[in-house]
């Protein structure tokens, strides 16, 4: 099998840009790497605090902003995968057996745990959920579908959020979650 001559070389221009990780989140780091056109970002979360705002019948919602900006291009996400080793409630506003669900998009969820805010679930729809036992859930994994997701940021850079939701039955007051684990994003830029 032949090795490509230009393994890491790319034409200069906007397609060399990468999304800007949000470095202001305490407990979250991001390692970015690439081979040719493909990029992979691995976020490591260690006890990241996520405020969960209780909205009564609309459930409880919160988010982590992963990227401050994507390049002004088509971002083709081949795989967006999370593996949270622990999500724990901070206090008792979230009940001990609540089910946590997540979605990923270019907007923070502002309305309800069903992720109905425009843009809140454009990258990964509410993919999976994990029930807590004694206020902690472990092994919460999620991934986008089998087809790539294309985010059109050609009109301007986009932010990227992972949104968390808990149904009304699992939340009685505003609380917080501490989240640990990894998020891996594999993507390439396909045009400006």
Strand, coil or helix: what is 144? coil
Q: Write the pLDDT tens digit of every residue in 108-155.
A: 999 999 998 999 998 888 756 899 899 999 889 888 766 778 888 888
Contact indicator for 157, 69 with CB cutoff of 8 Å: yes
Structure tokens at 70: 């994507």
List CB contacts of 68: < 8 A, sequence separation 6 or more: 20, 21, 22, 159
Q: What is the mean pLDDT of residues 36-51?
A: 94
Structure tokens at 22: 């949000």
Residue count of the chain, please give it: 192
pLDDT bucket at 3, cuts 50 / 70 / 90: very low
List CB contacts of 18: < 8 A, sequence separation 6 or more: 32, 34, 39, 41, 71
- pTM of the full structure: 0.89
User: Tell me, what DSSP letter sits at residue 93?
Assistant: S
Structure tokens at 114: 């069903």
Say which CATH topology domain 24-189 has. Jelly Rolls (2.60.120)
Domain residue ranges in the chain: 24-189
């Amino acid at each position: 099998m032949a090795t490509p001559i230009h393994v890491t070389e790319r034409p200069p221009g906007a397609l060399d840009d990468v999304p800007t990780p949000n470095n202001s989140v305490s407990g979250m780091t991001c390692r970015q790497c690439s081979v040719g056109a493909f990029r992979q970002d691995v976020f490591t979360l260690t006890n990241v605090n996520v405020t969960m705002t209780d909205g009564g019948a609309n459930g409880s919602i919160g988010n982590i902003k992963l990227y401050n900006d994507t390049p002004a291009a088509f971002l083709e996400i081949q795989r967006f995968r999370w593996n949270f080793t622990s999500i724990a409630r901070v206090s008792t506003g979230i009940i001990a057996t609540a089910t946590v669900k997540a979605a990923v998009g270019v907007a923070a969820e502002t309305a309800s745990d069903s992720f109905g805010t425009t843009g809140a679930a454009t990258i990964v729809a509410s993919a999976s959920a994990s029930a807590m036992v004694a206020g902690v859930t472990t092994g919460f994994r999620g991934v986008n579908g089998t087809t790539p997701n294309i985010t059109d940021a050609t009109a301007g850079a986009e932010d990227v959020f992972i949104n968390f939701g808990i149904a009304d039955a699992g939340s009685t007051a505003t609380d917080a979650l501490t989240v640990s684990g990894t998020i891996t994003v594999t993507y390439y830029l396909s045009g400006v």
